[in-house]
Amino acid sequence: MELTSLGIYNQAIILFAALVLFTSFAMLAQTRIVQLIFTFAWQGLLLAVVTILVAMVSDHPHLYVSAALTLALKVVLIPWLLYRLSVRLNMNYEAEAIANPSLLLLGGAALVMFSYFIAVPVVHLSGLATRNTIAVSIAVELLGMLIMTTRKTAMAQVIGFMSMENGLFFAAVVSTYGMPLIVELGVAFDVMVASILFGVFFFHLRDSFDSLDVSHLNRLSETNDSLPLQEANGEERP
C-alpha cells in the first residue's frame, strides 16, 4: 500500500521504525561504552513512542501500559543500572577497538536485506497498515545478535542482548498489536532480573580475569591451550 494513502499516524509509525533501525546501526559501530548505553536508551524511547502511536491508531489501550513499561524499564531503569555499573567498574571512559567498522556496518545492511527477504511472505499474510515494519523488527533483532557476536566487552554483549529483546517487542507490537499483558509483564521482569544478574556476573568476571574482555573465557575450554592475550603483569595463570 502506498505511503501517501496511509494516515499521518501510520506514516509516523513507519518513520519511527526507521529511526529504531538507525539506532541499531549506531549501536553496532559505537565504540564508547557510555554512548552505547545512551543509544540503547534512545532506542527504548523510540520504541515507546511507536507503541503509543500504535495504541492511538488501533483500539488497544493495553499498549499504553506496554509503552509505560518500556519507558520505565528500557529508557530509565536499565540504562541507569548499566551506567552505574560501568562507573563502579571504571569502564565509563573506555572504548573498545572494532576491527573493521565499515565491514561491520555493511554486514548490518546485508542483514537488513536478508530480513526483508525472509519477511516478504509473512508481510503478505498480515493485514495491518504497519505490516511493512515487520521486516524492520526482524532486522533489529538480528542486528542485536550481530552486536553480541562481534563485540568483545561484556557490556556491549549485554546491550546486544537487550536490543534483541527490543526487536522482539517491536515485532510483537507491529504484527499483532502487542503481546498479552501477562506475557509482557513476565518478559519485562525477566529482562530486569537479567540485567541485575549481568551486573553480578561482571564483578565476577573482572575479579577472575581483571578485565571484561569475554575472549578470556576461552581459557576455560579444556581443549584450548592457547592464551588469548599476553598477561600484562606476568602473573601466572593455571
Partner 1 sequence: MNMAGGIPLLLAYAAIICAVMSGAISLFAVRRHPGFLHTGSFLFLFIAGMADVVAGGWALLANLIVTDQLALGLPWLEWHLRLDPLSGFFLVLLGTLVTATSLYGPSYTREYTHGEAPQPLPPLGVFTATFVLGMQMLLLADDALVFMIFWEMMSLSGYFLVVYQHQHAGNRHAAFLYLLLAHVGALVILLAFGVLAAFGGGLTFAQMRAAPLSPLWATLAFAFAFLGFGTKAGMVPLHVWLPDAHPVAPSHISALMSGVMLKMGIYGIIRVSYDLIGEVRWEWGVAMLIVGTASALLGVLYALMQHDLKRLLAYHSIENIGIILMGLGMSMIFLGSGHPLLGTLGLVAALYHTLNHALFKGLLFLGAGAVLYRTHERDLEHMGGLIQRMPVTAFMFLVGSVAISALPPFNGFVSEWLTFQTALQAPALDNGVLRMIMPIAAALLALTGALAAACFVKAFGIAFLGRPRSRHVAHAREVPRGMLLGMGLLAVLCLVLGILPVPMIEAMAPITQLLVHSALPSATAQGWLWLTPVSPDVASYSAPFVMLALILVFGLGYLFLKRGAVPTRRCSPWDCGFGQLNHRMEYTSTAFTQPIRRIFGAVWKVEESVETSTVGVGPIRRVTGINHYLHVQDWSWLKVYLPIGSLVLEAARRIGFIQTGSIHTYLKYSFWTLIFLLWIVSI
Partner 2 sequence: MNSLGIAWMLAAVQTLIFVAAAPLLAGWVKRLKCHMQNRAAPVVWQPYRDLAKLLQKDMVLAANASWLFRATPYIVFGATLLAAAAVPLIVVHLPTAAIADMIVLVGFFALARFFTALAALDIGTAFGGMGASREMTVAALAEPAMLLVVFTLSMTAGTTNLSAATEFVLQAGLVLRPSFLFSLFALAMVAVAESGRIPVDNPATHLELTMLHEAMILEYGGRHLALIEWASQVKLLIYTVLIVDLFFPWGIAREFTAGALALGIVAVTAKAMLLAVVLVTWETVLAKMRLFRVPQFLGFAFLLSLLGMLTSIVLETGG
Chain positions contacting partner 1, by CB under 8 A: 113, 116-117, 120
Shortest Å, Cβ 113 to partner 1: 5
DSSP for the chain, written as a single string: --GGGS-HHHHHHHHHHHHHHHHHHHHHH--BHHHHHHHHHHHHHHHHHHHHHHHHHSS-THHHHHHHHHIIIIIIIHHHHHHHHHHHTT-TT-BPPPS-HHHHHHHHHHHHHHHHHHHHHHHHH--STTTTHHHHHHHHHHHHHHHHHH--BHHHHHHHHHHHHHHHHHHHHHHHSS--HHHHHHHHHHHHHHHHHHHHHHHHHHHHHSS-BGGGGGGGSSS--S-SS--SS-----
By C-beta, is 117 or 189 nearer to partner 1?
117
Shortest Å, Cβ 228 to partner 1: 24
Q: Is 27 in the site for partner 2 (CB under 8 A)?
A: no
Among 35, 49, 76, 102, indicate the residue that binds partner 2 (CB under 8 A). Answer: 102
Residue 83's binding partner among partner 2, partner 1, none (Cβ under 5 to 8 angstroms by kind) is: none
Contacts with partner 2, 115-144, as mask; x by CB under 8 A: -x------xx-x----xxx-xx--------
Q: Is 202 in the site for partner 2 (CB under 8 A)?
A: no
Q: Is 19 in the site for partner 2 (CB under 8 A)?
A: yes
The piece of 33-41, 104-112, 187-195, 218-226 that touches partner 2 (CB under 8 A) is 104-112
Among 21, 69, 85, 162, indicate the residue that binds partner 2 (CB under 8 A). Answer: 21
Question: Which residues form the interface with partner 2 (CB under 8 A)?
Answer: 1-4, 8, 11-12, 14-15, 17-19, 21-22, 25, 101-102, 105, 109, 112-113, 116, 123-124, 126, 131-133, 135-136
